[in-house]
Each structure stands twice: as structure tokens, then as C-alpha cells.
């Protein structure tokens, strides 16, 4: 039996530079991604931590061009849903565990908010594992949150049973662009010690706003003058997908 400790990682590959180099890719080459590579990436994703071993993630690979075109339109005209070598829909899934519960002679308690939180967290962790696996092979990715523009239509397209929710799509392919890294908020704002101390957060956000102003200007050739705080005002200062609560209720997520 091996001895775990610092020495056990002497032969490790340093993943930190890879993680810090993440970018969303929206232009892909025509080169395919093999089924073997896809299976390796998805299995790496599903090896992520899972609360109580729920494994509340189901991944649906969509190959049909008509279905992908419909999803691209539904997601707001995101054409890379159609052009990426591979496209997946990641679902928070309590249906499968409900079946297992019944197989064991138990009774599934539908509508528990905590169960929904576990499944959505599981799904996000697994997807990000898969993203890191894909990027480690030189592939590019783009998450597609726009599938939640019409989750009922997504549910119909993918024939999802109750207790399954499509959380986001994921494009994977060989990059045909080299976009700049988007700056992140400074750790002085997002890493706290002991308590939620926001004493210097406004100064940190102001400094970050200027970084984002420069980023947007460089990315658009000076055509866009915008900062992060303005983005947040636009995002959070209006109604956002108000259909979501009704959809979740229709899918059996009643939140008790």
C-alpha cells in the first residue's frame, strides 16, 4: 500500500497553468473528436465528487443536425452549437435515483430542495471535470446556458422524464481561434479570511472594472466601453427567465 503525502505527488502534472488558461471557444475547426476521446472525457467528468454517491448527472450527446440546429436557435442563435465537433446537454437527474429507491423497496420523496441542490451541484462538478479533461487534450469548450431560455422545449426535444432538468449545454471541439484570457475578480474580493469582510471590496471592484474596460476595448478594437459592474447591473437589474419556477414544478421539483 502506498504512503500518501507530499512525496506521492512528485510525479504529478501541474494542472494550475491549465486551469488558469481557460477560455470559451466559439469557433471550431472541422476536425472531429473521436468517440474514444469523448468517452474518456465524459468518464473523467463523472469521476468528480458526488454528494452521498448520488451521481445525479446525466449527459446527453446530441449528434442529430436538426436537433442541434433547433437547440442553437433556442439558445439565442448560438451557431457554435451546430459547428462544434461534439455537443452535450448536462442534466441534473433525480429520476435515476428515484428508480433505484423504488427498486430497493423504498419510496422516493419528491420535491426535496436539498436533493435538487445535490443534483445540480453534482452536475456542475462533473461538467467542469470534463472541461478540464478536454482542455488538457488541446480541445476548446463553450458552456451554453442559453438552453434554459426554453427548458420545456429542451425537455421535449430530449424526451426527459420528470425529475430531470437540462442545466446547460457544452460544445467541445478543436479551437479555430485564440481569444484573450478574460480577467477575473481579484482574490482580495473573492477570497475571505474567517468571515465575510467586504471592507475593501468596492475598491477591488473599481480596479477590476478598469481591467475589464481594457479587456473589452482590446477585444473589440475600441468599439466597446463597458465594465463588470455595469454588466452585473444589466444582468441582475431585470427579470431573468421567469418561466423557470413553473418549469421546475412541472418537472416534479416542487421544493419542499
| CATH architecture of residue range(s) 14-179 | 3-Layer(aba) Sandwich (3.40)
Q: Give residue 42's pLDDT.
A: 98
Q: How many residues does the chain have?
A: 256
Q: Give residue 1's pLDDT.
A: 42
**Could you read off the pLDDT tens digit of each residue along the chain, which spans 256 residues?**
444 445 554 555 689 999 999 999 999 999 999 999 999 999 999 999 999 999 999 999 999 999 999 999 999 999 999 999 999 999 999 999 999 999 999 999 988 999 999 999 999 999 999 999 999 999 999 999 999 999 999 999 999 999 999 999 999 999 999 999 999 999 999 999 999 999 999 999 999 999 999 999 999 999 999 999 999 999 999 999 999 999 999 999 998 7
Alpha helices in the chain (DSSP H): 16-20, 35-45, 65-74, 80-83, 95-103, 113-136, 151-158, 187-190, 201-219, 228-236, 244-250
pTM: 0.92
Q: How far apart are CA 168 and CA 12, in angstroms?
A: 31
- By three-state DSSP, how is residue 24 classified? strand
Q: Give residue 10's pLDDT.
A: 53
| CB distance 207 to 185 below 8 Å | no
Measured from the Cβ of residue 117, the count of other Cβ atoms closer than 10 Å reads: 14
Q: How far apart are CA 124 and CA 168, in angstroms?
A: 9
Q: Give residue 111's pLDDT.
A: 87
Residue range(s) in the chain whose domain bears CATH number 3.40.109.10: 14-179
Q: CA-CA distances (angstroms) from residue 7 to 3, 4, 18, 123?
A: 8, 7, 22, 32
Q: Give residue 146's pLDDT.
A: 97
Q: How far apart are CA 214 and CA 216, in angstroms?
A: 6
Place of cell 468517452: 39
Q: Rounded to the nearest 10 degrees, what angle do helices 35-45 and 113-136 cross at?
A: 140
Amino acid at each position: 500500500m502506498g504512503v500518501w503525502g507530499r512525496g506521492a505527488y512528485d510525479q504529478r502534472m501541474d494542472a494550475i497553468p491549465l486551469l488558469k488558461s481557460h477560455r470559451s471557444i466559439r469557433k471550431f475547426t472541422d476536425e472531429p473528436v473521436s468517440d474514444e476521446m469523448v468517452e474518456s472525457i465524459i468518464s473523467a467528468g463523472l469521476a468528480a465528487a458526488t454528494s452521498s454517491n448520488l451521481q445525479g448527472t446525466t449527459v446527453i450527446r446530441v449528434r442529430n443536425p436538426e436537433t442541434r440546429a433547433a437547440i442553437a436557435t433556442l439558445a439565442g442563435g448560438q451557431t457554435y452549437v451546430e459547428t462544434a465537433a461534439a455537443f452535450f446537454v448536462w442534466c441534473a437527474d433525480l429520476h435515476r435515483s428515484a428508480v433505484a429507491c423504488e427498486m430497493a423497496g423504498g419510496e422516493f420523496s419528491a420535491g426535496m430542495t436539498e436533493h435538487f441542490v445535490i443534483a445540480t451541484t453534482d452536475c456542475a462538478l462533473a461538467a467542469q471535470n470534463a472541461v478540464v479533461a478536454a482542455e488538457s487534450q488541446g480541445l476548446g469548450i463553450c458552456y451554453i446556458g442559453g438552453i434554459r431560455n426554453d427548458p420545456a422545449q429542451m425537455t421535449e426535444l430530449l424526451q426527459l422524464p420528470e425529475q430531470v432538468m437540462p442545466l446547460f449545454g457544452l460544445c467541445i471541439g478543436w479551437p479555430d481561434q485564440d481569444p484573450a484570457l478574460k480577467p477575473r475578480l481579484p482574490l482580495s474580493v473573492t477570497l475571505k479570511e474567517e468571515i465575510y469582510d467586504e471592507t475593501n471590496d468596492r475598491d477591488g471592484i473599481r480596479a477590476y472594472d478598469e481591467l475589464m474596460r481594457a479587456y473589452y476595448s482590446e477585444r473589440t478594437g475600441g468599439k466597446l466601453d463597458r465594465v463588470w459592474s455595469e454588466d452585473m447591473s444589466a444582468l441582475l437589474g431585470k427579470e431573468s427567465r421567469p418561466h423557470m419556477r413553473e418549469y421546475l414544478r412541472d418537472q416534479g421539483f416542487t421544493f419542499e
